[in-house]
Chain A
Amino acid sequence: MAEREEQLVLVEALDHLLDRGVVIAGEAVISIGNVDLLYLGLNIVLANVDAIIRVNSKDK
Chain B
Amino acid sequence: MKSIAIGVHLRREDIEPLADAVPVAGLYLSAIAVADDQSLSDRDLLVRVTSTRAALLDRATFVAIRYGFSFRAGAEAEAKCAPQAARWKALLEEHRHRVEFTLKVAAPGSARPDRHDFKSGADYIRALHDARDATSIPASFREKVESAIVPIAVRHRWVRRDTTSVELAGLIERELLPRLAEAGESLKMTAPDVPFLLSAPWPLEVFAEE
Contact = CB atoms under 8 A, between A and B. Distances in A.
A55 to B, nearest CB: 5
Given A54-B200, A55-B181, A18 B67 contact: yes
Contacts of B84: 22
A10 B195 contact: no
Nearest to B7: A21
Q: Is the interface of A mostly helix, strand, loop or mixed?
A: mixed
B162 interface: yes
A16 B54 CA distance: 11
A1 interface: no
A50 B177 CA distance: 16
Contact of B203 (A21, A31, A32): A21
Interface of A: 8-10, 12-14, 16-25, 27-32, 39, 42-43, 45-57, 60
Interface of B: 5, 7-8, 40-41, 46-47, 49-50, 53-55, 58, 63-70, 80-81, 84, 88, 101-102, 104, 106, 161-162, 164-165, 177-178, 180-181, 184-185, 187-188, 192, 195-206, 208-209
